[in-house]
């Protein structure tokens, strides 16, 4: 199993294809939510893409990290996705832990922000995120804004 964190310019065309295919399969098809996934933020020179491939070369997990000011005032974690075939094995936890660590290694003094689907608030709270907005609709799905302070400890709790 392989984890990698790249800037857009470092992604191969096949890796980019895999990322867009996984995001569309889950966010557009599975969640029945037609929206503009390709939003230009992937291209930003400071954006990081965290990918996880299994030994057969299948992309199983992905998230992206946006620098502060690109989309939100804080560093933002988004597009958090695990392939349907890989769920229930703890891969999502590994993905988020690695994403938080990757963000903190690049921007150690920055708070982290994410726009979470409302039903996943408790999941993100396990990693130090606190709900900071009222519920709102994003692409017709209820979301909340969540923030984790730069000084917060990010260990998972039960």
133-145 confidence digits (pLDDT tens) = 999 998 889 999 9
Q: What's the whole-model pTM score?
A: 0.90
97-141 confidence digits (pLDDT tens) = 999 999 999 999 999 999 999 999 999 999 999 999 999 998 889
Contacts of residue 76, defined as CB under 8 A and 6 or more positions apart, other chains included, come to 65, 66, 68, 70, 112, 113, 114, 115
- In this structure, the number of other CB atoms found within 10 A of the CB of residue 26 comes to 18
For the structural domain made of 2-148, what CATH number should be given? 3.40.630.30
Q: Where are the domains of the chain?
A: 2-148
């Amino acid at each position: 199993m392989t984890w990698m964190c790249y800037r857009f310019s470092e992604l191969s065309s096949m890796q980019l294809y895999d990322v867009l295919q996984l995001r569309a399969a889950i966010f557009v098809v599975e969640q029945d939510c037609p929206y503009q996934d390709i939003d230009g933020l992937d291209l930003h020179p400071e954006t990081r893409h965290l990918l996880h491939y299994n030994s057969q070369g299948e992309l199983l997990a992905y998230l992206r990290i946006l620098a502060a000011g690109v989309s939100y005032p804080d560093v933002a974690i988004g597009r958090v996705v695990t392939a349907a075939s890989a769920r229930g094995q703890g891969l999502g936890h590994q993905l988020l832990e690695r994403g938080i660590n990757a963000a903190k290694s690049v921007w150690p003094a920055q708070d982290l922000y994410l726009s979470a689907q409302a039903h996943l608030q408790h999941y993100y709270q396990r990693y130090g995120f606190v709900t900071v907005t009222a519920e709102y609709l994003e692409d017709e799905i209820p979301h909340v804004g969540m923030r984790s302070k730069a000084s917060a400890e990010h260990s998972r709790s039960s």
